[in-house]
Structure 1
């Protein structure tokens, strides 16, 4: 319960302070590529239930719904500002809505795409699917895009075993540090 209260409180504060950058990113996405500013992606949520997760759109319209590393040349699908949005993690801002709604937590395993059966299977095997997915997570700050699925699940399991409000706070601070450094981001 304390983690949920923390999630709602921090999300509301973040939405307030980030409202101007949110509007600026919205406008930039709209003027640099055709289509909606926000992409609603089908993701695997808590207990393997599918939910729609919002992100600022970084990929061109009609990009296949696959993990970026499976697209071949993923960079060719990026919008003109897509790479910047991903490297700065500004594309993640709309996920605060999912935190408020209860589909996500600020910290947890990153939500897999609906068709990432290999990741879903491993997370289910280790009971990681019982956690709400997070805007950031232990795997995110320990390698992000550079981790294999097995390594991600190892970090997700460590998070499951150590989950606490203080661990979440530590992960949030480490995430801010990694974002500022732009560490472990491939696209």
Structure 2
């Protein structure tokens, strides 16, 4: 089933790229020197951020261990560049509580008090700096969502995977979870076509501001956002 989903996704991606050939060459086609420079910046910045935030991360890990128990890290397979799967790391913020049928309770019911604070400050995203160092993701790019979403994208939406995903992105500083999925994906594709080093720096600086004011963290009634169910889903 997973392989079928990936095949359908790549067909969408191919259709999107083919359509772009009749308009203009997408700016996602960058030179090797640009990509290498971005990679060097990603590694350098990720190492510096890890060193600077190491005490905060250790305290957060201790809080998770005390409130939820082991393991302190949440691992999940997510789609990366061109939809290739990788293992994403985050701090755990939810319990494994389930209903009488064994199904997980809704996210907002499993989110712990410590987890709410960790999410509010975006500390749960810090382990993804290891993903940056490994090369799975970049500091800036469209957020890596669920593998289940791949076959649900339109050809245009699938173009968000023409670049590496990121810890933060253009959609995150322009509404995050307070905007609809359609709006997020349009912002992601806009980034793919217009990304530059200066734009990445702007996104990183504005991300700090958004984190400090805790803006757009979640949709009402959800720990983060409502699940994406297809291109006609206009809810955030």
The normalised TM-score by structure 1 is: 0.89
The aligned residue for residue 52 of structure 1 is: 87
Give secondary structure in 2 for the equivalent of 1:84. Answer: helix
Selected match of 2:216 from 178, 181, 184: 184
The aligned residue for residue 66 of structure 1 is: none
Give secondary structure in 2 for the equivalent of 1:35. Answer: coil
CA offset at residue 116 of structure 1?
2.0
**1:78 and 2:111 aligned:** yes
- Point out where structure 1 has 5 or more consecutive residues left out of the alignment: 64-70
Selected match of 1:10 from 22, 45, 49: 45
CA offset at residue 61 of structure 1?
2.4
Selected match of 1:159 from 159, 171, 191: 191
Q: Which has the larger radius of gyration?
A: 2
**1:122 and 2:154 aligned:** yes
Number of aligned residue pairs:
179
Please say if residues 43 and 53 of structure 1, whose CA atoms lie closer than 8 Å, have aligned partners that are also in contact. Answer: yes
- Point out where structure 2 has 5 or more consecutive residues left out of the alignment: 1-35, 99-103, 224-236
The normalised TM-score by structure 2 is: 0.71
Please say if residues 107 and 135 of structure 1, whose CA atoms lie closer than 8 Å, have aligned partners that are also in contact. Answer: yes
CA offset at residue 149 of structure 1?
1.5
Please say if residues 123 and 129 of structure 1, whose CA atoms lie closer than 8 Å, have aligned partners that are also in contact. Answer: no
The aligned residue for residue 179 of structure 2 is: 147
Deviation string, structure 1 residues 137-162 (Cα, Å, up to 9, x no partner): 00011111112221111100111111
Tell me how far apart the structure 1 counterparts of residues 110 and 145 of structure 2 sit (CA, whole Å).
Answer: 19
Query: Alignment RMSD, CA only?
Result: 1.8
Distance verdict in 2 for CA 1:38–1:109, change over 3 Å: same
